[in-house]
Chain A
């Protein structure tokens, strides 16, 4: 299947590892992710103010781009883009007067009617491909690799747009099991990483992330799997700051779920872009015989 794909800004820079591994892994499952032409930033965070229309325009414009492709569905990889685009669409659908104002403001665009479905790749894997087909595509099962999935916030909350149960999601567990990994259940998997406080209140992020990572480690995790580039920065790069605050902390590698898919599907290591990780996951993957 062919599906329009919305990358978002960070996937073109610091999260190139997410984009490259996802596109390559999806191809193995006959999913062709076609990048939207002329996409723009979604705004990264959904505006929570009921009177704020201007911050919905960026997201809606991207959905217009999907319509221009003659499609009714767009796939995202970044959890924040997923949340922002999907909530913007919900906001738009809820109020006819606001729809009219946004359409008139956009002016030169075709009128949007709210009929584009925003989906995350994890939903496609679960609902359209199915775990059996994924299992069948595995060439190098992740046997013995103890992976703790981390969902964060934006894939799950609020419930109206969540891809899974808000408190007890299982989609990433099911995927990782299909890839042959040993799944570690971590009670902190839906706890916020500290998000945008990483800019001006790094200390808040350090406390949040330390709780998340040490909980996963206590439960036996050797690596964390996630889907959000902001979570990834906080969980991976901020370990440098955690080490300064918490002396006994042991670093742990953090990967995108798509990188684990690429490894399990036996794809060339280069699509994983491991060099972009702060904590190099290669020694661990080598010790498990998963990469050369």
Chain B
């Protein structure tokens, strides 16, 4: 992966937006990797949570739009409670989902596309929580 760093990216709109939505200071992260070590869903992610934060620090919107990591995130808050720098990583993952859902208007899961048998099998709590995270 080739990354182009520039002042425009690092100080750009994307970083501001992620920080505004999450309420977190991205530069607080010093890349220790503790979030990635404890993430129960890391096995299915294109890049690890700590790498997601690194790309966000560098304002790499384009690169981040290609990875599945924040769509695989379970919002389980394990990273959040373990971060030695007090970064609420789960909030940053939510901000990255919302950047896509709000701006690009692309739902990850379409409620109308879910099969009837699946809807009958699932408890409401599963359907509502999924659509809250995966659609705008």
Contact = CB atoms under 8 A, between A and B. Distances in A.
Contacts of A153: 74, 76-78
Contacts of B90: 48
Contact of A50 (B20, B80, B129, B130): B20
Given A45-B75, A199-B131, A200-B108, 10 more contacts: A43-B128, A44-B128, A48-B90, A49-B22, A49-B95, A153-B76, A158-B80, A199-B127, A230-B125, A233-B123
A132 B131 CA distance: 43
A157 B81 contact: yes
A237 B121 contact: yes
B8 to A, nearest CB: 24
Interface of B: 20-23, 40-41, 43-44, 72, 74-78, 80-81, 88, 90-91, 93-95, 98, 108-109, 114, 118, 121-134
Contacts of A199: 109, 114, 118, 122, 126-127, 130-131, 134
B125 A200 contact: no
Given A15-B123, A158-B80, A158-B81, A191 B75 contact: no
A49 B21 contact: yes
A41 interface: yes
A139 B117 CA distance: 42
Contacts of A200: 108-109, 130, 134
Contacts of A50: 20-23, 91
Contact of B40 (A45, A167, A192): A192
A166 to B, nearest CB: 5
Interface string A37-74: 00001011101111100010000000000000000000
A198 to B, nearest CB: 5
Interface stretch (A6-14, A102-110, A179-187, A215-223): A6-14
16 contacts: A8-B125, A45-B128, A47-B94, A49-B91, A55-B132, A153-B74, A191-B40, A194-B40, A195-B74, A196-B126, A196-B133, A198-B126, A199-B114, A204-B72, A208-B40, A233-B122
Nearest to B41: A204
A9 B74 contact: no
Contacts of A51: 20-21
Nearest to B94: A48
Interface of A: 8-10, 13-15, 41, 43-45, 47-51, 55, 78, 80, 153, 157-159, 166-167, 190-192, 194-201, 203-204, 207-208, 229-230, 233, 237
A259 to B, nearest CB: 17
Instruction: List the 9 shortest-distance A-B pairs measured between CB atoms, nearest first.
Output: A192-B76, A50-B23, A48-B94, A157-B77, A199-B130, A196-B130, A196-B129, A14-B123, A44-B129
